[in-house]
Amino acid sequence: MITAIAAAVLALLQPEPETERTGRVEPFPGIVVDYDAKAVEVSGFVPIDAHQESTPDVMLELIAEAHGVRDFEALIRLNAEARQVHAALLLLGLEPGSPGYIEVVGADEPLKRVDPTGPELSVRFRYEKEGKTVIENPATWIKNSETGELFSERNPRFYFGGSSMRTFAGEEWYMARAEGTVVGLCTFGTELGGTETVGCTPVLSPHSDMGDPVWFAVNDRIPKFGTEMTLVLTAVEKKPESPVSDSDAE
């Protein structure tokens, strides 16, 4: 279904396939595809309140959420559907890999963690701060609840895995729609299928009893509840491999 949506939009946006796509287009409300920057921009807002004195600790399990399913534990709530974000990435010419997942092998055995695959993406937030437009790394807005370690210190990487499809009561569901998981911090997928449109490594469990850190908002870095922001997903260009010389091979 998602591929069909993207194909239909492509047909409208580019009647001549030979012509290289340039500029900016808005294939869906709240989503802009920037062909020159090779980026997808999705409007949204801050769905959590990290500035309440009575409830200062905000636990996080996602970076970007859609559909209001998990907006209480995400840094941005998107004004778009998960499948539309997927389709917009397809319009950039990116092909999804596979979403990550976690499998519980046995009570006394370590978790089986499967990394997401696919095109690598840079994940950033753009918003107005003190009268200026700023672009920030959301991984610096998240900290380990016990050590204070910033999530950015783990050098997270993000991949367009594409989520999976499952059938419930005879209806096929794009799992990022069912779970609200557009850009992961934790990984909600199991061996039955991954759920994040854009998955994250390291693969972390959302369950506190699985031995992974519990992540909280860095309150002084989080904008006020309701602040408008834009999620910017930019394709990471692969660096060409350096040729191996005869002297290096020896």
pLDDT tens sequence across 53-68? 888 899 999 999 999 9
* pTM beyond 0.75: yes
Find out whether 112 and 124 touch, Cβ atoms under 8 Å.
Answer: no
Containing H/E element for 78? strand 74-78
Between CA 47 and CA 31, with CA 44 as vertex, the angle to 5 degrees is 160
Secondary structure class of 94 (helix, strand, coil): coil
Q: Report how far residue 48's alpha carbon sits from residue 217's, in angstroms, rounded to the nearest whole number.
A: 9
Name the residue among 47, 39, 104 with its Cα closest to residue 70.
47
Tokens of 20: 């290289």
**Average pLDDT of the chain, as a whole number:** 88
Tell me: the pLDDT tens digits for 181-199? Answer: 999 999 998 888 889 999 9
pLDDT tens-digit series, residues 96-126? 999 999 988 776 777 899 999 999 999 999 9
Q: Rounded CA gap, 10 and 159, in Å?
A: 23
